[in-house]
Structure 1
Amino acid sequence: MQGNARKFRHFVMWTALYFACAVLASRFLRNSDGVALLWPSAGIGYAVAVRYGLRWTAVVAVGSLLYSLQLEQPTPLYVALIVAGKTASTAIAAWYVLRSRVLHLRTDDGMRLLGGGVIQSVLSAAFGLFAMQQVGQMDYASTPDAFIRWALGDMLGIAVVAPTLLLATTSRNPLHRLSPFHEPASRRERMFWLALLATSFIAIPALGGRGIYVLGMISVSLVLLLWSALRFAPVWTAVATGVTVTYFSVSAGLGVGGFTAPKSLVETAVLLLLLCLVAVIPVMMALAGLEQRTTSYALYQRATRDTLTGLLNRTAFEEEARRLLSATDAPATLLYLDLDNLKIINDSTSHVAGDDMIHAIGGAIGAVVGDAAVVARTGGDEFAILLPRGEAGAIVEARRLLTEIEAMRVPWADQVLTTTASIGLVSATAQDRDYDMLFSHADAACFAAKELGGNRFHVSYPSSDEAQAHSAVMRSALRIREVLEREQFLLYVQPIVPTHNTRSGGVHFEVLLRWQEPDGRIHVPAEFISAAERFRMGPRIDRYVIDATLRWLERNPQAAKSVTSCGINLSGATLTDEHFADYLAMRLRRSSFPAQNLCLEITETSVVRDRQRAQRFIGQMRDLGCRFALDDFGTGFCSFGYLSDLDVDYIKIDGSFIRGLEASPLSQAVVRSIGDIAHVIGKSTIAEQVETEAEHHILQEMQVDYAQGYLFGRPQSIESFFAAKTAVA
């Protein structure tokens, strides 16, 4: 009901305005022969129909009816023809503008509006003159002259009024930078401009009375309007243009203020065409400026906003956070939020469902923290929030976020999607407001919350042992990236030997990685592999090791011929790398080393985490000819049930069961069980970390196939390993 009442009020308002402008134009904007140079009602009806739809041409029908009835002795036929003609011409012109797409007030929209205005002016003149001829008010001889005057008068009215109304009735927030009301110039400049325009209005009649050609002075006002189009709001330019053209129309039509009223059809046509150009050019320039700002804003949004959530992206967030942190010492807390189970949603439904969840959570985060906070989506399912408050207030917000996310329900097909989040917090102190440090600690705190089970927050204190350890991990990660880029990792190998001398064959070894400092100190994998996995550098290291190993074997073909099995460890992240199979296929294709002599080792833990993905990965690698070993077996709770489903060649028994084997009946039972089951399903076993003859002897009795450990050789560089083999041979 309220909506209908509002529409009715608007209808009455536009109808009254249409009628009032028609009366004013007929009484005050006519020249000496009684023809109105400017008909603003045409612009009102046109703008209303374009803005609100064809149904609103009823404004034209009622308004023109009221105007016709107030004429002297109107005949019913004339009234009916005039009302029908004006309504039809307006509807046809509006349909022409709206037929292809929604109006956005761009420059091409301006050309469509101009074309529609021409159509309405021509049709309105044709219908109007037809009505006058039908009632005997117009003879055929004067029809061409009247047609041109009528059409140009309507066209000028449309050019003066329609742009102002269309811009003024936009639904965009006036405070928005792309609103036609947005004012880029200062108030002082606008007041100075107004003073110049008013001066030109006064100067033109004053100078025209002294014999100066006033039509040439219109250029002064036109320059001011072009200035407005470049510097001021489009609505301001449209209103100023309308006022200026109306002023010139009245002055020229009445022949006052130094203007000479046009006497002939040619003079009238030239004057009206000139005024139409003055009305159109500034408005078109204003629309071009608005379109340019719209394009620039769209590019800015694309560069700074996440397309899925509309939040800031990581780069824009970093810039804004740095600025705020350096601008003031006010309390501030950085939150790093990571969704706990989005991967499950993506794998079980689709990535589209995951995107819906991320979009919903992005909106929820913005609603919880409010406009005062800076919020960004920094990664796939990761968000960063800079709150302008201390630790206590940030903890309250973190609890609200966790509750809101846990309670969220996102419908998808016949399912309802849910998730939880982990949040890391770190507060900026007055002394320490470095963004990089804060972000690092917030990330580490989020990781700690996730490791504790998720759906919780964790506060980081930069001076704590935990934070110091994280800083050390970060330094290691940066150093690893540098070593990778400079290819400074060293290839070490350790032999794998058969436990029974009856076995014969070539060299069987595992490739190990070392990192050497400039001072000669060597780091073992335990010192840097956790940092590499934490920062997702495992696949890159794996590719480096494979490429470096194959390059060495290709450069040493005699050594390569003696190799029956070259074992290379793969990280758990490599199993999820969709491009690894393509990389390995391409690398093996150009290598002289046989693919069947390459044994890829994956850990039991990574297999247990996602067995289906592991099976698919093993299948892809086997298609290339590679063999497989299941490393560290036993650390995943000895899940014997999946062994028959995994197409591996070797099962490597974890060294924790081998150390002190002779004194541990439990370890002996575990090793014996692993060996028996492996042999039943046709797989070979390798015992890791064998260091004593007693352990070796027990493994022989248990029929373990291979052994690896210090008893048979410590890890050494690949060059030294094969040099020793050559010397023995």
Structure 2
Amino acid sequence: MEYSIKALVRKYKKYKHPMRQSSRPFTDSLSYTLAKNSVLVTLLVGFSLSCIQIAVDFVREQNEIQQFASEILAANQFAAADASFHLDAPAAEEVAKGILQYHSITSVTITNERDEVLTQLASENTERTNLTKGFEIFGEIKGFNQPLYFKSGENIGNLRIYIDPALASDRFIDRSILVLLSGLVRNILLAFILVFLFYRTTTKKVIAIGAALNDFDLNNPKQNRIPPVNKKKKNELDDLGDSINRLLDIIYRDIKKREQREKALHVSQKELTYQANHDLLSGLVNRRGFELHLFQAMQSRQAENAEHIFCYLDLDQFKVINDTCGHIAGDELLRQISQILKMHIRSQDVLARLGGDEFGILMLNCNIKNAKEVAQKLIDKVNQHRFLWEDKPFAISVSIGIAPIGESINNTNDLLRNADIACYAAKDAGRDCFRIYTESVSDIAKVHGDMQWVTKINSALENDRFCLYAQVIQPNKPTDRNGLHYEVLLRMVDESGSLISPNAFLPAAERYHLMTKIDKWVIENQFNYLSKHPEHLAALELCSINLSGPSLTASGFLKTVIDYLDHYQIPAKKICFEITETAAISNLTDATTFIEAMHSKGCSFALDDFGTGLSSFAYLKYLPVDFLKIDGLFVKGIVDDPIDYAMVKSIHEVGRVMGKKTVAEFVENTEIGLKLKEIGIDYSQGYGIAEPCPINELKITEHS
């Protein structure tokens, strides 16, 4: 909850003068923080600069060793050459002793032209001093060689000296220590100077501002002001004081205004509470508010053993009106239905709009008999209503699911689920009626099972958990084209990775209008697979894809299929769509329109399950299909049943007269295959030919 200014004032008074109540540790002070940061920064920067200076001095020291060696060799090469020429060992020894006078030179060797040693002397102290033993950065003893030449330029020997870099750089250690210590002292002095400056220029003034703030009375902020820190020139701290003074003026004015706002807020809170629990379009209780009523009803049922009923209402034709006439018409329809329902429920009942075209009614202290009467009355009243929009009348109906609030109901979700299931049962029974959750356990369980499949299907579509299978269709006699010919099949993959047969989920998909979504998924994914596998597409003669009846009448489905063909650049002549005989006859006009449109693109069509309809031959001349797939019911018994044999033969002969190829399904063994060849059936399909397999496991080479 938001605090008022007066509450803040009271809180401020309670904790006023914190500096006087407790002493702050020095380590928490601003001065200590500035000092610590200043010391750390200056030490880090100073140490880095000292290291750089030492590194430069080290490189220079190494160069001086090289230069020193060159000078010693140059100064003694003539004396060494004379001794080498005359093979005068004593003279060579004198030269060596003179060179060893330098303490950094550890040994000297003079040889003749045959590399025979005339003299080889070493310094008496060849061990490194204790001071330089730990400094391995100087490296090992280095040797330097000077060839000796006679006046004619002839090589007469070599002069070699060996220098210990650690001995030659003994002064480097002293200089490095001096640099580090002087830098440390300098940086510490600099840190204390910075701390003093920070305290004088910043910390002291901040403390003064804090002390001044402790003396303020927020009830009378105009009586006190923060004094200026600098009287001559203003800086940022003076600007801060001015800002605080202005803020106190604003607080003083806001104290008065906030009192008025709090009064207005109390009034507006009631309005917000109403809006949070009511639907703005219809004025009814919304889902949030309705769930609160349901929760209270469940509590009263447990405490008072009262009987309550929950009704879930779903308009049957709302989507048609909303899509054809627009959202404005849909909103107006919802308002009119809300008024009708409100007029014909009991005064103690709670009516709510749960979302979209869904309504809920909580019938308090009501038994099942009375609930049925009210539900039927509402169905009749909605049915009698004619919605007019732009002079066009629309008939409306409603399906109602009734769920008693019984002892088994533990929460509102269970109650909403039960009513939703009952409403699904009402829609499944033909709409414009009501169903009670406990009225028919078997029907409700079936609907509940179908709803679970609906959830699984939608999840599979969203998460791409369908997979494509294929079953080969084999020609019964040699043809000019011997490419890959198969029917595309569908499997669902559950969350554990197991495959689910379409017989398990397709009935629910047909019942709850999901077949068009599945058809689109199959077409798009099959076209996508073909486009990504050009070798498969090149070997393909014909690919058969099943279409459901609802897809033939779905708005925009034809355009979607054409768009997929163009997008994935699939040759239309390689695609065949299969339509069941029942779907084609039930939607004859739409089916004919779809077939003719796709024929113009180059696709072919097959009439699936042919022979099961009552008027198969009568409608066949109106359907411009290319293949007749003879239903397996006749094919399975063709060997032993003469009637099945005659049916298959008659279908083939009619198809041949009309210029259509025939395909026999359910070819399970060789005997059936031979009978089909005897009749002249063009193609065979079934487990006796090939079992379904994942589409990526089809063997292309056998058919290309």
Partner of 1:385: 361
- The residue number in structure 1 matching 2:171 is none
Among 520, 523, 529, the alignment partner of 2:500 is 523
Helix, strand or coil: the match of 1:584?
A: helix
Q: Partners in 2 of 1:693 and 1:415 — Cα distance?
A: 63
Q: CA deviation at 1:379?
A: 7.1
Q: Which residue of 2 aligns with 1:539?
A: 516
Asked if 1 retains the 8 angstrom alpha-carbon contact of 2:667 and 2:684, the reply is yes
Match of 2:307 in 1: 331
Gaps in structure 1 of 5+ consecutive residues: 1-219, 235-288
Q: Which amino acid aligns with 1:568?
A: I
Give, in whole Å, the separation in 1 of the partners of 2:672 and 2:386.
57
Which residue of 552, 559, 562 maps to 1:575? 552
Residue 528 (structure 2) aligns with: 551
Q: 2:666 aligns with which of 689, 699, 702?
A: 689
User: What corresponds to 2:263 in structure 1?
Assistant: 231
Which of 405, 425, 429 pairs up with 1:448?
Answer: 425
* Shift in alpha-carbon separation, 1:547–1:408, aligned structure 2, 3 A: closer
For the residue of structure 2 that corresponds to 1:726, the secondary structure is coil
Q: CA deviation at 1:565?
A: 1.4
| TM-superposed deviation, 1:414 | 8.3
Supply the distance in 2 between the matched residues of 1:439 and 1:408 (Cα, whole angstroms). 27
Matches for 1:246-645 after TM superposition, within 5 Å:
305=279, 307=281, 316=288, 319=291, 323-324=295-296, 328-329=300-301, 330-339=306-315, 360-370=336-346, 372-376=348-352, 383-388=359-364, 389-409=366-386, 418=395, 420-461=397-438, 464-502=441-479, 504-517=481-494, 521-622=498-599, 624-645=601-622
CA shift, 1:672, in A, is 4.8
Residues 1:520 and 1:421: Cα distance change in structure 2 (over 3 Å): closer
Partner of 2:221: none
Give the Å deviation of 1:505: 3.1
Query: Equivalent residues in 2 for 1:80-95 (5 A)?
Result: none
User: 1:443 is matched by which residue type in structure 2?
Assistant: D
CA shift for structure 1 position 540: 3.1
Give distance in 1, aligned partners of 2:324 and 2:624.
Answer: 25
Change (3 A) 1:343 1:476: closer
Following the alignment from structure 2 to structure 1, what is the Cα–Cα distance between the partners of residues 639 and 316?
44
CA shift digits 1:428-450 (9 cap, x unpaired)? 21331444443343333333334
Deviation of the 1:667 alpha carbon: 4.7
- The match for 1:13 is none
C-alpha distance in 2 between matches for 1:624 and 1:339: 40
Q: CA deviation at 1:629?
A: 2.8
- In structure 2, do the counterparts of structure 1 residues 602 and 464 end up closer, same or farther at CA, with 3 Å as the change threshold? same
Distance 1:663 1:375 in 2: 65
Cα distance in 1 between the residues matched to 2:270 and 2:645: 76
Matches of 2:601 and 2:278, distance apart in 1 = 43
* 1:671-720 residue CA offsets vs partner (Å, 9 max, x unmatched): 45544554444433333223244444454455543332112111111122
Deviation readout 1:585-608 (Å, 9 max, x if unpaired): 443333243233122333344444
- Give the letter for the 2:438 counterpart: Y
TM-score by length of 2: 0.53
Q: Distance in 2 between matches of 1:639 and 1:356?
A: 46
What is the one-letter code of the residue matched to 1:632?
A: D
The structure-2 alpha-carbon separation of the partners of 1:391 and 1:548, relative to structure 1 and needing over 3 Å to count, comes to same
Farther-moved stretch of structure 1 (316-325 vs 513-522): 316-325
Of all paired residues, the percent bearing the same amino acid is 34
How far, CA to CA, are the matches of 2:645 and 2:289 in structure 1?
57
CA contact (8 A) 2:523 2:545 kept: yes
Q: Which residue of 2 aligns with 1:720?
A: 697
Distance in structure 2 (CA, Å) of the matches to 1:651 and 1:491? 23
3-state SS of 2:698 partner: helix
State how far apart, in whole Å, the 1-side matches of 2:683 and 2:646 are: 18
Q: CA deviation at 1:374?
A: 4.2
Instruction: Report the alpha carbon displacement of residue 612 of structure 1 after superposing the two structures with TM.
Output: 3.4
Kept in 2, the 8 Å contact 1:633–1:653? The answer is yes
Hey, what's the Cα distance between the residues in 2 that align with 1:604 and 1:312?
A: 49
Letter of the structure 2 residue corresponding to residue 387 of structure 1:
M
- Over the residues paired in the alignment, what is the CA RMSD in angstroms? 4.5
> What is the letter of the counterpart of residue 578 of structure 2?
E
Q: Are the counterparts in 1 of residues 606 and 626 from structure 2 also a CA contact under 8 Å?
A: yes
The one-letter amino acid paired with 2:263 is: R
Normalized per residue, the structure richer in strand is: 2
Residues in 2 aligned to 1:532 and 1:437: alpha-carbon distance in whole angstroms: 24
Q: Residues 17-58 of structure 1, C-alpha deviation per residue, up to 9 Å, x if partnerless?
A: xxxxxxxxxxxxxxxxxxxxxxxxxxxxxxxxxxxxxxxxxx
Separation (CA, whole Å) in 2 of partners of 1:666 and 1:346: 52
5+ long unaligned stretches in structure 2: 1-251
Residue 637 (structure 2) pairs with residue 660 (structure 1) = yes
460 and 654 in structure 1: CA distance in 2 versus 1, 3 angstrom threshold: farther
What SS is found at the alignment partner of 1:369?
coil
Counterpart-to-counterpart distance in 2, 1:616 and 1:497: 30
Distance in 1 between residues matched to 2:639 and 2:359, nearest whole Å = 53
* Helix, strand or coil at the partner of 2:371: helix
Report if aligned partners of 1:312, 1:377 keep a CA contact under 8 Å in 2: yes
> Structure 1 residues 556, 617: closer, same or farther in 2, change over 3 A?
same
Following superposition, the deviation at residue 564 of structure 1 comes to 1.7
For the 8 Å contact 2:309–2:368, the answer to whether it is kept is yes
| Contact 1:391-1:426 within 8 A present in 2 as well | no
AA aligned to 1:726 is T
- Please report how far the alpha carbon of residue 528 of structure 1 lies from its aligned counterpart in structure 2 after TM superposition: 1.5
How far apart in 2 are the matches of 1:310 and 1:646?
53
